[in-house]
Amino acid sequence: MDGDRHNYGRVIGGCGGSDQGPSGQGPRPPAPQQTAKYRPPHLRNKGGGSGGEPYLPPLQRQGVGRSYDTGPTRRPWDPHPAPPTHRTPQLPPNPCTFGVDLLKVSEEEPLSCHPKDANNRILPVRRPKGGTLVGRSVNLLVNHFLVEFNPRVTIFHYNLDIKQVICHGKRPVRKSKNKMNLRSIRDKLFSDDPARFPLNRTAYDGEKNLYSAILLPTGQFRVELSDNEDLSTRTYVVSIKLMNELKLSKLEDYLTGKLPYVPRDILQGMDLVMKENPSRYRISVDRSFYSSTFKVEDDLKHGIAAYRGFQSSLRPTSQGLALCLDCSVLAFRKPLAVIDFLKEHIAEFDGVYLDLNLRRRVTNALKGLTVRVTHRVTKQTFTITGLTAKITRDLWFDFVDPKGIDPTVKVSLVQYFREKYGKEIAYQGIPCLILGRNNRTNHVPMEFCVLAQGQRYRKELLDEVGQKTMEEKSLAWPPERRKIISEMMQAYDGPCGDDTQNFGLRIDKNMTSVEGRVIGPPDLKLGAPDGAVYVVRVENEKCQWNLAENSVVDGKQIERWALIEFSSSGCLKLRAKDFIQNLRNRARSIGICMEEPLVCHFTHMREFSSVSRLEELLRSVIQEASRKTWNRLQIIVCVMAEKHHGYKYLKWVSETRIGVVTQCCLSSQANRGDDQFLGNLCLKINAKLGGSNVELTQRLPHFDDEDHVMFIGADVNHPVSKKATTPSIAAVVSSVNWPAVNRYAARVSPQDHRTEKIVEFGPMCHDLIDTYFQLNKVKPKKIIVFRDGVSEGQFDMVLNEELSDLKSAVCSNTYQPKITLVVAQKRHQTRLFLENMADGGATGNVPPGTVVDTKIVHPFELDFYLCSHYGRIGTSKAVRYCVLWDENSFASSELQKLIYNLCFTFARSTRPVSLVPPVYYADLVAYRGRIFQEVAKEFKNRAVSSSTGTSNSSTFDQSFYSLHPDLQNIMFFV
């Protein structure tokens, strides 16, 4: 999910599973109807399931003497509850203090019976007890800071409703949405009566939530607020209502395993308490806090600077409650006087004269920015809406006597500022700023305006030097990042302010020390020049292998291919003859036999401007090739002069309409012809055509060769657009070969806007299992599902809804695969640092294969952190893997080793990747689906513009996302 990644637990009693709503609040409303439904390719024009056979729910698990309850609150695939004598997981003692006993790494099988809540909804599998350590140990520091709390403390949650009173003391009529304004009103109320409203014992989110360490008066309170002596006082009514009493004893019960669900409301309240101190002193952007000043070395010039900040969240861990804090960098406009900002930002600006071009650049640089004025005392801020048409010395306006005695007269702006404010305008030859506020406009000279603090500057607008500098600062090396995090924990404006102590919280400012383990790399199978199989032992620091002396395992014979050059004019023209020769030589050197192209077509980049032109071009190339061979083209290599938005047209046409894969590259890279670039190109081409680049020499842990295991990756890509007519894109991929597990098939389906649940998950998986059967003549006995992009608050949905859909779609009384469900989380702030730099490589990062499954993990659920890649740039980030369901009875080390080994099989890399490949591929497929959606959107816009209809069905039309039959089961997306 692209939204909140720091939810604190599962939604207990949420949608799915039962026909009852939360806490039994009557029947559940029907699920919203989807505009489009996914249908397997071979059933798009048919009814029913695969082969006309309807989906059957599982009746009884084969070989296991368990019965299944058919009552309304149980799913048919739920196992029967374990008897009371069943073992329970070993839980830590009270983790609310330092020095607690820690859970140990497990080599035992997870509990076969999944825990359930009061509503009979399945909870994630619990961490098994005991076990031994596997892999060499390494001492690490983690950016988790232990938080002590008093379980006897109660935090009071209040609702604040602030409304402004209209003139003459009438009733409140309007709510303010400005957080800064609302904070000012709250601060004024508390400063007027500090005895009853102690400011330092409360935390406020700037909207409606207020948390207090003591009971506060409730009711309605009037607040008088004025920006300066010249403006009339504004009156507000603040309504305070007690919403909840948050007893921290519940959090202690959860951490010790007495409470099955996370007390999310308590963690949210405590999290806000941690953010209260930085919110007073720092610039708040989304969930991050940035310093109000910048260092000299962080000046990016041109009126822009890099500001350092942090993002933090509270996490329940096996050592107790921990604050996870990580640093970040963001570009802001410096809070300079507007004149000074323009002199820095635009080199040609001198404050004397603006020609037409310079005026346009100044307008673009300033329009929409927020400023404060300096010619009078006020706290108000104003938005720049533009520049005056006339220069300052030529501006006159009608002056109306506020007392109504003198007649209206024409006054020059220069004269008015001299007489009213005693200010002499120096820059009279340039326009004034037009400032807007409350539907009123004012003309104010630029020299009396200062940019307000905390205005972001988009990274893509920076010049090349600025972008490179920002990248270097964002990707800090481990020692530097560790130092910055420690400094922010110690800072006066960090999370450890007086407010936290007033709520009975104490934070250890030292990073958590944890013992990690380094899993050894697997041996790999590559090809040799003589056609034999060669075993590579990856022992170097980077865990990297090269193809200088080796070949791919299975190189496809490329006999029918075409070259289209889209750079036939200009300085970026492709040297086609050299490129073809270099590409063929490189392919031959790694075991891929590549013939001369059947067709070489030379054209221009303007072909990318139209879908129809591209389709006509591709079809003509295919037709020309068909005259030279009886079989279809295997691949079309497209060399582009530059990156172009028409790339999406090319992919959509080739992959959904024509059915020939394409491989794109830039002419500038193609002309250089270095071995690494050409080698990567050949790896992609071989994978797209069904070849095998690398394989593991030994079978994956926990499985036998005859098991036939399918690995599934699933992800949802959400649109940037906030329009509800823009669909989210669900993507599901699955392996289709065993035991090599390096070939995948993919399915794509649109669904309702920002819907995280994969609506057609069951049918898509059913279709992929059918594909596996067609290719292998047997269905997989075991299925490992890796789900990407969900927060902890959505685990319940994945476990009780998506897994249910999968079971209902694929299981029957004759087919009962064993399923394991794992969530891969990338968007977290946890960072691993070497305690001893000698334990790592040249970059100072943790070595590939580093795993942590104690202290910083969940108090009792099964999860671990795995850093599977070599960190070349910046500080490596491990992926957190959370096991929600496990019928395959994995031991912890087996699953860790399995995932790490899979990371060596990614088709287009010669080193282990950072994310398990099924999820990596699902991300790529979801992005490809987003490209298809953009094409569908353009078709929709054309249809709407040519008719009076406003239908948005085309963006949900499955035909726009359905792959051509020739591409459905190959890796077109790598």
pLDDT at 813 exceeding the cut of 70? yes
Q: What percent of the chain has pLDDT over 90?
A: 72
Give the chain's end-to-end CA distance (angstroms, integer): 22
Q: Which amino acid is at 392?
A: T
Predicted local confidence at residue 112, as pLDDT: 43
Predicted local confidence at residue 105, as pLDDT: 42
Q: How far apart are CA 154 and CA 248, in angstroms?
A: 6
Do residues 10 and 792 make contact, with C-beta atoms less than 8 angstroms apart? yes
- 95-154 confidence digits (pLDDT tens): 333 333 333 444 444 444 567 776 788 999 998 876 556 789 999 999 999 999 999 999
Q: Where are the beta strands (DSSP E) in 248-345?
A: 283-285, 288-290, 304-317, 320-333
- 465-497 confidence digits (pLDDT tens): 999 999 999 999 999 999 999 999 999 999 998
How far does CA 214 lie from the centroid of its chain?
A: 38
Predicted local confidence at residue 439, as pLDDT: 66
Q: Of 5-9, 202-206, 279-283, 859-863, where does mean pLDDT reach its minimum? A: 5-9
CA angle 945, 949, 954 (to 5 degrees): 80
SS (H, E, C) 902-930: HCCCCCCCCCCCCCCHHHHHHHHHHHHHH
Q: Which amino acid is at 686?
A: N
- 767-809 confidence digits (pLDDT tens): 999 999 999 999 999 999 999 989 999 999 999 999 999 999 9
Q: What pLDDT band is residue 37 in, cutting at 50, 70 and 90?
A: low
DSSP of 657-687? II--EEEEEEHHHHHH--HHHHHHHHHHHHH
- 696-723 confidence digits (pLDDT tens): 999 999 998 788 999 999 999 999 888 8
Q: What pLDDT band is residue 171 in, cutting at 50, 70 and 90?
A: low
Which class for 224: exposed (0-12), middle (13-18), buried (19 or more C-beta within 10 A)? exposed
Predicted local confidence at residue 86, as pLDDT: 38
Q: How far apart are CA 247 and CA 249, in angstroms?
A: 5
Most confident of 11-15, 85-89, 105-109: 105-109
pLDDT at 80 exceeding the cut of 50? no
Length of the chain measured in residues: 974
DSSP state, residue 802: I
Predicted local confidence at residue 26, as pLDDT: 43
Predicted local confidence at residue 664, as pLDDT: 97
Q: Of 169-173, 354-358, 584-588, where does mean pLDDT reach its minimum? A: 169-173
Q: How far apart are CA 726 and CA 412, in angstroms?
A: 52
DSSP-based helix, strand, coil % in the chain, nearest 5: 30, 25, 45
Q: Which pTM value belongs to this model?
A: 0.86
Q: Of 72-81, 574-583, 624-633, where does mean pLDDT reach its minimum? A: 72-81
Residue carrying the six token digits 């009061």: 118
SS (H, E, C) 855-898: CCCCCCECEEEEECCCCCCCCCCCEEEEEEEECCCCCHHHHHHH
Coil, strand, or helix at residue 554? strand
Q: How far apart are CA 725 and CA 653, in angstroms?
A: 23
Q: How far apart are CA 579 and CA 667, in angstroms?
A: 9
Domains defined for the chain, CATH in brackets: 148-331 (no CATH), 336-452 (2.170.260.10), 555-689 (3.40.50.2300), 695-945+954-960 (3.30.420.10)
How far does CA 226 lie from the centroid of its chain?
A: 42
- 440-453 confidence digits (pLDDT tens): 778 999 999 999 99
- 293-328 confidence digits (pLDDT tens): 999 999 999 999 999 999 999 999 999 999 999 999
Cβ neighbours around 72 below 10 Å, total = 10
Which distant-in-sequence residues (6+ apart) come within 8 Å of 162 by Cβ?
175, 176, 182, 185, 186, 236, 237, 238, 239
Residue carrying the six token digits 């490329």: 558
Predicted local confidence at residue 722, as pLDDT: 80
